[in-house]
Amino acid sequence: MKYDIKEVSSRLRATRESLEISTKDMAASARITEQEYIAYESGEKDLSLSVLNACAEAMGIEMIELLTGTSPTLATYSLVRKGEGLPIERRIGFTYQHMAYLFKNKKIEPIMVHAPFEPDQSKPIAMSVHEGQEMNLIIKGKLKFVINNNTEILNEGDCVYFDSSNPHGMIAIEGDCDFLAILI
């Protein structure tokens, strides 16, 4: 199941309008400027998971509803087989799969991430900032993780838990890396 950014933006706008929430209030909920919010809603800018999640929360719906147009319906358990998570397009080169997209009223957002090896290790690492907390568990490979002025090398089985409102980023080193990211 894939999503189209124009469709997501359209659903975001339609839902906001049906709930009679202003663009100013949505921007405040997502902790971004109103101009940034309008660019997201018009499809000019790709929505980050943190912005999508904040908007969904402000509207009282699941983030998956904005991504897919369908509501999660499972309440007891949700099983997603290897490779069958909901693909989410975010950072170029990285692949993301939401591993609980059918479960309603989630307390966490579990995402399987594949980070491709970057041969030019001297490039600046793309940094992210979003509300909440995050945990990354390395499944395969090695990851260079940067948060504020700290750099850590994470190996298979290593886990980092952090306040994601701090600037953070990562790149695969010595080959591709797979990790489970849990956003709270």
pLDDT tens sequence across 101-119? 999 999 999 999 999 998 8
CB 117 within 8 A of CB 176: yes
Which amino acid is located at 46 in the chain? Answer: D
Tell me what pLDDT residue 1 has: 46
Which pTM value belongs to this model? 0.80
Residue pair 40/11 in contact (Cβ under 8 Å)? The answer is: no
Q: Are 115 and 176 in contact (CB under 8 A)?
A: yes
Domains and CATH numbers, the chain: 5-68 (1.10.260.40), 86-183 (2.60.120.10)
Count other Cβ atoms within 10 Å, centred on residue 99. 23
Q: Of 61, 49, 76, 81, give the one whose Cα is nearest residue 16.
A: 61
Q: What is the mean pLDDT of the chain?
A: 90
Give the Cα separation of 50 and 31 in Å (integer).
10
Tens-place pLDDT, residues 30-54: 888 999 999 989 888 877 777 888 8
C-beta of residue 156 within 8 angstroms of C-beta of residue 139:
yes
- How far apart (Å, rounded) are the C-alpha atoms in residues 159 and 92? 24
